[in-house]
């Protein structure tokens, strides 16, 4: 082979073949995302969700009336209802189909602007949830079409007294299938926002038991795989944007604490901006308040609202810690150990999150033992040996409380412990938390009680997922508009 005239290498360096294919695939991905946005809009535009629910009920009831032979029944009304229902199910089917493809693009493909997120917990769950939705959408549109076909056969061909009741029963059954699937599907439409598209589909599964940077670690655990990947890239880009003595994680932690205090009304918008300036350089501060940035103050508010809906117990602990800043100033002899915990009053499906916050107000670092006893739990006994750093008391309030709260959270031992019970367990169940010193002496003992239930309640996973999705939409939709 002539070295001066090498053979062409279509897949080699400098070849335009691979980039051209990547650009074509990127354009296809963009078209699918545009299709998702359009069909979701067509599915959710008012009042189409209500009309779909009404038509499914009308079609089923009118078919049932035909089956019992009431003289005022109308087969034309039943046929029209099922035909109209079939037409109205077309946008929802296309929305589910496009959403499933877009989620696969964002979580599985390796192409320009996309990296595989298969290593992040929750990827398969999101894809399976969307695939299940596609199946349900197809079942209800096929049920509506089959019911319309059965009723039209009765109307057009007069099949007789033997076959007609069977066709009517099939139409009623198909109508019931449409109603049941509509009750599940019409309650929520996933991927409605463009800011954090997959966030409403994610439920936290794996997480660390110890939260070092409390709000940052908690928020990261509740991010969907796509947003979690973008979050990691954003944190890496902040390495040169923080002030001396800060790291990207500590700066974000301080910012999230300030956003939470702004949410509670302790500081105002100008106070929030001032707190951001204390940890970020000028350019980074401007970027955080720039609405065009992917991660800015508004999007951090959105993500924190999503996290608050999923893990309200942790925020209750933080609020009580903030309130204790003023209480410690009035206390003549504060306790050397401050142990606070939060367990939901009701735990559904045999699962619950126990949040523990421990402060060591002695003068030295100490290793302590935390025993957790859950009646009939799986396991019924857990023992954790942890190192509790010494933490001085803080008494600041108002805007000065941001720094004080940060110092207390930095020195706190914060635990996020999952509790579980067998499916057969119901009713009230006590949980005891015992804090022991290095010599095994009991420093503190607290008993809390939760009620196990199988239904949906305000603390259940399904309810929290709905609340989190609504929290995101309340903030993210106005941003997109």
pLDDT of residue 15: 46
Q: H or E segment at 141?
A: helix 123-157
Higher pLDDT, 117 or 132: 132
Q: Are residues 350 and 302 in the same domain?
A: no
CATH of the domain at 414: 2.60.40.3880
Alpha helices in 214-311 (DSSP H): 214-221, 225-237, 248-263, 269-279, 282-288, 297-310
Would you say residue 13 has pLDDT above 70? no
Q: Categorize the per-residue pLDDT at 154 as very low, low, confident or very high, splitting at 50, 70 and 90.
A: confident
- In a domain, residue 285? The reply is yes
- Report d(CA 52, CA 58) in Å as an integer: 10
Q: Are residues 376 and 239 in the same domain?
A: no
Q: Are residues 72 and 145 in the same domain?
A: yes
Radius of gyration of the chain (CA): 29
- In a domain, residue 1? The reply is no
Domain region containing 393: 333-453
Bridge partners for 111 per DSSP: 114
Q: How many residues does the chain have?
A: 481
Do the Cβ atoms of 355 and 215 come closer than 8 Å?
no
User: Residues of the chain with pLDDT > 90: what percent?
Assistant: 25
pLDDT of residue 477: 46
- In a domain, residue 135? The reply is yes
What's the whole-number mean pLDDT along residues 10-16? 47
Q: Categorize the per-residue pLDDT at 411 as very low, low, confident or very high, splitting at 50, 70 and 90.
A: confident
Q: Which of 200-204, 339-343, 401-405 has the lowest mean pLDDT?
A: 401-405
Final residue of a structural domain among 165, 185, 205? 185
Would you say residue 156 has pLDDT above 50? yes
Q: Are residues 67 and 175 in the same domain?
A: yes
SS3 string, 2-19, reads: CCCCCCCCCCCCCCCHHH
Task: Give the full edge-to-edge strand order of the sheet including 210-211.
Answer: 210-211, 413-420, 351-360, 337-342
Q: Categorize the per-residue pLDDT at 114 as very low, low, confident or very high, splitting at 50, 70 and 90.
A: low
User: Residues of the chain with pLDDT > 70: what percent?
Assistant: 81
Would you say residue 203 has pLDDT above 90? no
pLDDT tens digits, 71-95: 667 888 889 999 999 999 999 999 9
* Mean pLDDT, rounded, of the chain: 82
Q: Categorize the per-residue pLDDT at 468 as very low, low, confident or very high, splitting at 50, 70 and 90.
A: low
Q: Are residues 345 and 447 in the same domain?
A: yes
Higher pLDDT, 305 or 25: 305
Task: Write the DSSP symbol of residue 440.
Answer: S
pLDDT tens digits, 183-199: 888 877 787 777 788 88
pLDDT of residue 397: 54
Q: Are residues 146 and 85 in the same domain?
A: yes
Q: Categorize the per-residue pLDDT at 11 as very low, low, confident or very high, splitting at 50, 70 and 90.
A: very low
- In a domain, residue 400? The reply is yes
Q: Are residues 440 and 402 in the same domain?
A: yes
Nearest Cα to Cα of residue 397 among 480, 307, 321: 321
Nearest Cα to Cα of residue 385 among 355, 352, 358: 358
* Residue with tokens 């349900």, as numbered in its chain: 136
Would you say residue 445 has pLDDT above 60? yes
pLDDT of residue 176: 93
Final residue of a structural domain among 137, 170, 185? 185
What's the whole-number mean pLDDT along residues 428-436? 90
Nearest Cα to Cα of residue 66 among 154, 156, 176, 149: 154
CB atoms inside a 10 Å sphere around CB 426: 12
Q: Are residues 304 and 377 in the same domain?
A: no
Higher pLDDT, 465 or 458: 465
- In a domain, residue 358? The reply is yes
Q: Which of 103-112, 141-150, 359-368 has the lowest mean pLDDT?
A: 103-112
Higher pLDDT, 426 or 465: 426
Q: Which of 5-14, 46-55, 394-403, 411-420 has the lowest mean pLDDT?
A: 5-14
DSSP 212-231: SSHHHHHHHHTS-HHHHHHH
**Number of structural domains in the chain:** 3
pLDDT of residue 1: 45
Cβ neighbours of residue 239 closer than 8 Å, sequence gap 6 or more: 248
Record the pTM. 0.79
Would you say residue 391 has pLDDT above 50? yes
- In a domain, residue 5? The reply is no
Q: H or E segment at 417?
A: strand 413-420
Q: Are residues 269 and 347 in the same domain?
A: no
CB atoms inside a 10 Å sphere around CB 356: 25
- In a domain, residue 458? The reply is no
Q: Categorize the per-residue pLDDT at 469 as very low, low, confident or very high, splitting at 50, 70 and 90.
A: low
Q: Are residues 255 and 176 in the same domain?
A: no
Q: Are residues 176 and 29 in the same domain?
A: yes
Would you say residue 438 has pLDDT above 70? yes
Q: Categorize the per-residue pLDDT at 215 as very low, low, confident or very high, splitting at 50, 70 and 90.
A: very high
Do the Cβ atoms of 155 and 76 come closer than 8 Å?
yes
Q: Categorize the per-residue pLDDT at 251 as very low, low, confident or very high, splitting at 50, 70 and 90.
A: very high
pLDDT of residue 479: 39
Q: Are residues 131 and 219 in the same domain?
A: no
- In a domain, residue 258? The reply is yes
Nearest Cα to Cα of residue 412 among 132, 212, 247: 212
């Amino acid at each position: 082979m002539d070295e001066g005239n090498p053979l062409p290498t279509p897949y080699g360096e400098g070849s335009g073949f691979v980039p051209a294919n990547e650009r074509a695939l990127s354009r296809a991905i963009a078209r699918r995302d545009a299709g998702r946005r359009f069909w979701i809009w067509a599915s959710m535009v008012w009042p189409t969700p209500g009309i779909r629910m009404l038509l499914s009920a009308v079609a089923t009831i009118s078919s049932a009336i035909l089956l019992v032979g009431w003289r005022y029944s109308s087969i034309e009304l039943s046929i029209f209802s099922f035909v109209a229902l079939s037409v109205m199910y077309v946008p929802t089917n296309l929305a589910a189909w496009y959403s499933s493809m877009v989620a696969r693009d964002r979580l599985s493909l390796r192409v320009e602007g996309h990296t595989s997120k298969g290593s992040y917990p929750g990827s398969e769950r999101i894809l399976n949830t969307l695939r299940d939705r596609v199946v349900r959408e197809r079942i209800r549109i096929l049920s509506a079409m089959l019911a319309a076909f059965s009723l039209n056969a009765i109307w057009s061909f007069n099949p007789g007294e033997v076959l007609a009741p069977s066709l009517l029963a099939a139409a009623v059954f198909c109508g019931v299938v449409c109603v049941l699937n509509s009750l599940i599907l019409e309650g929520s439409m996933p991927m409605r926002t463009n800011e954090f598209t997959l966030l409403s589909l994610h439920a936290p599964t794996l997480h660390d038991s110890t939260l070092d940077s409390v709000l940052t670690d908690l928020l990261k655990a509740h991010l969907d795989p796509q947003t979690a990947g973008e979050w990691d890239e954003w944190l890496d880009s902040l390495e040169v944007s923080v002030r001396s003595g800060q790291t990207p994680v500590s700066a974000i932690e301080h910012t999230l604490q300030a956003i939470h205090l702004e949410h509670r009304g302790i500081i105002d918008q100008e106070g929030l901006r001032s707190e951001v300036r204390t940890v970020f350089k000028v350019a980074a501060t401007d970027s955080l308040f720039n609405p065009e940035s992917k991660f800015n103050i508004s999007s951090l508010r959105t993500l924190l609202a999503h996290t608050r809906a999923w893990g309200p117990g942790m925020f209750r602990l933080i609020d009580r810690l903030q309130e204790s800043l003023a209480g410690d100033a009035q206390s003549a002899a504060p306790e050397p150990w401050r142990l606070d915990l939060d367990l939901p009053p009701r735990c559904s499906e045999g699962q619950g999150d126990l949040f523990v916050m421990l402060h060591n107000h002695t003068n030295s670092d100490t290793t302590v033992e935390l025993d957790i006893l859950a009646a009939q739990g799986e396991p019924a006994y857990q023992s954790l040996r942890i190192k509790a750093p010494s933490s001085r008391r803080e008494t600041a309030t108002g805007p000065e409380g941001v720094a004080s709260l940060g110092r207390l959270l930095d020195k706190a031992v914060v635990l996020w412990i999952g509790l579980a019970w067998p499916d057969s367990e119901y009713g009230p169940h006590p949980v005891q938390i015992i804090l022991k010193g290095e010599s095994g002496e009991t420093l503190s003992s607290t008993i809390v009680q939760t009620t196990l239930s199988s239904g949906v309640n305000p603390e259940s996973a399904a309810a929290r997922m709905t609340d989190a999705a609504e929290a995101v939409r309340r903030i993210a939709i106005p941003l997109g508009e």
